[in-house]
Structure 1
Amino acid sequence: MHIHPLITDSEDLAALCARLAESDFVAVDTEFMRENTYWPELCLVQIANDKEAAAIDPMAPGLDMSPLMDLLTDNEEVLKVFHAGGQDVEIIYNLTNRTPHPIFDTQIAMMAVSQSEQIGYSNLVESWLGLTIDKGARFTDWSRRPLTDRQIEYAIGDVTHLAKIFPKLLARLKKTSRGEWLDQEMEKLADPANYRNDPDVAWKRIKAAGRNAAVLGRLKALAAWREHEAQDKNIPRGRIVRDETLADLASHPPKSQTDLAKVRGLSQGWKENEIGKRLMQTLAGAEPLPEDEMPPRTARGAPLGKEGSLVADLLKLLLKIRAREIDVAARLLARSDELEMLAAGVRKNLAMLEGWRYDTFGRDALDLVEGKLAFAVENGRLKMTHVDDAAA
């Protein structure tokens, strides 16, 4: 495979992208910094097919990145391959308002051919190529220039390895006929809705107990306010106010700005500064959360009662057994909150009761809930037995 020198010139980048546009796939990775900013700062892009690989410096003065972004987001003929690509896709979306498509994520794909739920990149490479990754440059400051040869070599290795692994993994998926299992998961990864920084839905990321409309309305208003403050200053949202402090403010709103000095997580300065004033204005204008925005009563953590909790535990055991039997990640078959909802009597809008998930796991999960399936021990291993079969 031909490895190019670091690309810092617009003509070189355009020529590279023109060649890569003729490929069936490209492996993509990014290096970025986000510790001190709200918006991730793109510092390096690595890209490869089966013939050539390059690192591209987006911080190079005057570099026109549009050929690369067009290749990633507009060219439907080239499959874009990532590993744990959520943050890479987010960065591309922030720059273009578009997401890479079509897309393939090797971490997600491994869920269909192994019981690994979130396999790390180094473990993926060791598993498929028998190579040990040098992790020495992993914690480097990618925004500093100049980059060393070792840094660039380390970064390009991420995509050269990926370009070798992808065809092998694809062949395994075809052999097991599980490629279609991943279609929905890959489309989710490419859905632009996952990457829009909408302040009005920011509250959903914060843990909050209960379904009190007034409390959740304040939480929604505070979370939106924090997003605007963080975006305006381009600093991480946690530097404005931490999640737990926002939840506390929503549950126990202070009566005056002076009281902010008593809130755990806020400094004394909040009782008289401008940001404290804006926080109090936000609380004063908060409306109760509308009924159509309230979290469902059967969401994760909803009370199931003792019997319901036992049924949910049995479903989780069934899921563990089935995942082991067919060598697939349990989370690809069903989520814990879905199992709790099934135990609570929900039968609609559950992914595990549709399509291949129903055939593979959902049908048996329903049978267990309805008393048609039982646990048995055979040769020292736990397995499931249909009640009719056991009677026969």
Structure 2
Amino acid sequence: MKIHDLITTSDALADLCERLEKSEFVAVDTEFMRENTYWPELCLVQIANTEEAAAIDPLADGIDLTPLLDLLCENDDVLKVFHAGGQDVEIIVNLTGKTPFPIFDTQIAMMAISQSEQIGYANLVDHWLGIQVDKGARFTDWSRRPLTDRQIEYAIGDVTHLSVIFPKMLKKLIKTGRGAWLDAEMEKLADASNYIVDPETSWKRIRQPGRNPQALGRLKALAAWREGEAQHKNIPRGRIMRDETLADIASHPPKKQGDLAKVRGLSNAWKDNDIGKRLLKVIEDAEPLPKSEMPEKMKRGAPLGKEGALVADLLKLLLKIRAREIDVAARLLTRADELEALAAGVRDLKVLDGWRYDVFGKDALELVEGRTGFAVKGGKLSMTHIDDMQASMQESQIPEETPADVPEEVSEEASE
């Protein structure tokens, strides 16, 4: 594979993208900094196909990233392969308003062909290639220039390995017939709305203080205000105020600015400064949350109770068994809250639909309805149908009949 020098000019980038657009897929990774900013700062882009790889410097003076962004977001003929690509995709959405498409994430794909739920990149490379990745540059300040040869080599390695792993992974997915299992997960990754923060809906990401319309109205107003403050200052929203503090203020609003000094999580300066004044104005102007915006109650059946909790525990045990049997990540099949809902009587669940029903949901439902149970076979815990268990027990019983070669009178004497 040809490894290019760091690309710092528009012409070199355009030439690279012209070649890459003829590929079936490209492996993509980014390096960025976001510890001290609201918006992640893109510092490096790495890209590779099966023939060449390069690192691109988006901080280079005058470089035009348009050919790269067009390749990622406008060219539907080239598959874009990431590993744990959520934050990489977020950066691209911030730049273009679009997600790379079509898209494939190797971390998500590993859930369909192994029991790994969030396999790290180093473990992925070790699993598929038997190569130990050098982790020495993980905590590099990628915004500092110049980058060293070691930093660039480390960064490009992320996509050169990925370009070798992806075809192997795809071959296994085709062989096992599990590619369709990943469709919904990949669609979620490609949905731009998952990465665009709308200040008016940002309150939904915060743990809600009950269902009081007044408190939720304040929560909505405060969350939108915090988002605006953080964006304007380009600092992390937590630097303005932590979620826990915001929710506490929404539930127990201060009556005057001086009371802000008593709020846990705020400095004493808030009782006098301008940001404290703006906060109090938001609280005063907040209106109750309209009924149409009230969060939906979680779907629940009857309260679990002790017996229901035991059924939920059995379902979780079944999940572990099935995930082990078919070598798939349990989280891809279902989650604990869904199993608890199933135990409580809810039936409108993802686990009872499509391929999930075929590989797990059917057995889970039969367990809840008493048609299957657990058995130990060959030293391993497994599932078995109750009818099969009863038939097996009947076959193992010795018939209580009078032996044919025993005279009838002897039999009668023995019975006296």
The amino acid of 1:174's aligned partner reads: I
Cα distance between partner residues in 1 of 2:320 and 2:297 = 26
Q: 1:207 to 1:231 in 2, by over 3 A?
A: same
User: CA offsets, 1:113-153, max 9 Å, x none?
Assistant: 10000000000001111111111111000000010111000
* 8 Å CA contact retained: 1:298, 1:341: no
* 8 Å CA contact retained: 1:84, 1:105: yes
The amino acid of 1:366's aligned partner reads: L
Cα distance between partner residues in 2 of 1:310 and 1:285 = 48
| Residue aligned with 2:200, SS | helix
Which residue is 1:25 aligned to? 25
Q: Structure 1 residue 266: deviation in Å?
A: 0.3
Cα distance between partner residues in 1 of 2:305 and 2:253 = 32
Cα distance between partner residues in 2 of 1:209 and 1:314 = 32
Report which stretch shifted further, 47-56 or 253-262.
253-262
Which residue is 2:109 aligned to? 109
Cα distance between partner residues in 1 of 2:296 and 2:317 = 25
* 8 Å CA contact retained: 1:24, 1:77: yes
The amino acid of 1:307's aligned partner reads: E
Cα distance between partner residues in 2 of 1:258 and 1:303 = 45
Q: Structure 1 residue 216: deviation in Å?
A: 2.4
Cα distance between partner residues in 1 of 2:222 and 2:299 = 23
The amino acid of 2:2's aligned partner reads: H
Cα distance between partner residues in 1 of 2:298 and 2:76 = 39
| Residue aligned with 1:76, SS | coil
Q: Structure 1 residue 303: deviation in Å?
A: 6.4
Q: 1:322 to 1:289 in 2, by over 3 A?
A: farther
The amino acid of 2:380's aligned partner reads: R
Q: Structure 1 residue 391: deviation in Å?
A: 2.2
User: CA offsets, 1:8-39, max 9 Å, x none?
Assistant: 11011001001000000000000000000000
Q: 1:105 to 1:347 in 2, by over 3 A?
A: same
Which residue is 1:224 aligned to? 224
| Residue aligned with 1:111, SS | helix
* In the alignment, structure 1 residue 146 sits paired with structure 2 residue 146: yes
Q: Structure 1 residue 193: deviation in Å?
A: 1.1
1:226-265 matches, cutoff 5 A: 226-265=226-265
1:286-325 matches, cutoff 5 A: 286-298=286-298, 304-325=304-325
The amino acid of 2:112's aligned partner reads: A
Q: Structure 1 residue 292: deviation in Å?
A: 4.0
* 8 Å CA contact retained: 2:32, 2:143: yes
The normalised TM-score by structure 1 is 0.96
Which residue is 1:354 aligned to? 353
Cα distance between partner residues in 2 of 1:362 and 1:54 = 45
Cα distance between partner residues in 2 of 1:227 and 1:209 = 19
Q: Structure 1 residue 217: deviation in Å?
A: 2.4
Which residue is 2:385 aligned to? 386
Which residue is 1:161 aligned to? 161
| Residue aligned with 1:385, SS | strand
| Residue aligned with 2:113, SS | coil
Cα distance between partner residues in 1 of 2:373 and 2:214 = 45
Q: Structure 1 residue 175: deviation in Å?
A: 1.0
Q: 1:311 to 1:204 in 2, by over 3 A?
A: farther
Which residue is 1:370 aligned to? 369
Report which stretch shifted further, 112-121 or 198-207.
198-207
- Larger-gyration structure (1/2): 2
1:329-344 matches, cutoff 5 A: 329-344=329-344
* 8 Å CA contact retained: 1:45, 1:57: yes
- 4+ runs of 1 displaced by more than 6 Å? none
Which residue is 2:400 aligned to? none
* 8 Å CA contact retained: 1:245, 1:264: yes
Cα distance between partner residues in 2 of 1:347 and 1:248 = 36
Which residue is 2:266 aligned to? 266
| Residue aligned with 1:89, SS | helix
The amino acid of 2:236's aligned partner reads: P
* 8 Å CA contact retained: 1:364, 1:373: yes
Q: Structure 1 residue 211: deviation in Å?
A: 2.8
* 8 Å CA contact retained: 1:218, 1:283: yes
Q: 1:290 to 1:39 in 2, by over 3 A?
A: same
* 8 Å CA contact retained: 1:8, 1:57: yes
* 8 Å CA contact retained: 1:299, 1:337: no
Cα distance between partner residues in 1 of 2:236 and 2:339 = 35
Cα distance between partner residues in 2 of 1:196 and 1:385 = 47
Cα distance between partner residues in 2 of 1:366 and 1:211 = 32
Which residue is 1:62 aligned to? 62
* 8 Å CA contact retained: 2:209, 2:216: no
Q: 1:28 to 1:233 in 2, by over 3 A?
A: same
Q: 1:214 to 1:317 in 2, by over 3 A?
A: farther
Question: Kindly, what percent of the aligned residue pairs are identical?
Answer: 75
* 8 Å CA contact retained: 1:202, 1:220: yes
Provide structure 2 residue ranges, at least 5 long, that are not aligned to the other structure: 392-416
Q: Structure 1 residue 311: deviation in Å?
A: 2.5
Provide structure 1 residue ranges, at least 5 long, that are not aligned to the other structure: none
* 8 Å CA contact retained: 1:101, 1:190: yes
Which residue is 1:125 aligned to? 125
Cα distance between partner residues in 1 of 2:284 and 2:325 = 56
Cα distance between partner residues in 2 of 1:233 and 1:268 = 21
Q: Structure 1 residue 337: deviation in Å?
A: 2.0
Q: Structure 1 residue 154: deviation in Å?
A: 0.4
The amino acid of 1:54's aligned partner reads: A
The normalised TM-score by structure 2 is 0.91
| Residue aligned with 2:229, SS | helix
Report which stretch shifted further, 160-169 or 335-344.
335-344
Report which stretch shifted further, 83-92 or 270-279.
270-279
> Cα RMSD over matched residues?
1.6
Cα distance between partner residues in 2 of 1:103 and 1:154 = 24
